[in-house]
Amino acid sequence: MASQDFAARCGIYCAECEYRAQTSCPGCVQAGGKLFWGTCVIATCCIGKGHHHCGQCAEFPCDTLNSFAYDKEHGDDGQRIGNLEAWNAEGFESWAAKR
């Protein structure tokens, strides 16, 4: 069963991240936004606004999230935004059951 502990605030499902195992990263939520590569501005923003993930924000999807999602080198062509929309519409558990 999929763990919501690995549902990153930006919409990435960290359980599928190839770097998580390599770096012993506990995932975005557990790390409080302080990840193996540094402090995540998206996580910091969510934490500051009291949201579990960006999809709960009135500004979703904001320019910062869009810049991460569509970054040429590290982006996912908007997949994380689609994940957040699904988490809002059907809930994480239902979304994860389809994976």
Does 26 score more than 60 pLDDT? yes
Q: Span 28-56, mean pLDDT?
A: 91
pTM higher than 0.85 = yes
Rounded Cα distance between 20 and 99, Å, is: 18
* Cβ pair 63, 57 in contact under 8 A: no
Rounded Cα distance between 41 and 90, Å, is: 26
Does 1 score more than 60 pLDDT? no
Residues whose CB falls within 8 Å of the CB of residue 68, separated by 6 or more in sequence, listed in order:
10, 42, 74, 75, 80
Say what the pLDDT of residue 64 is: 96
Q: Where are the domains of the chain?
A: 4-94
Mean pLDDT of the chain: 90
Does 44 score more than 80 pLDDT? yes
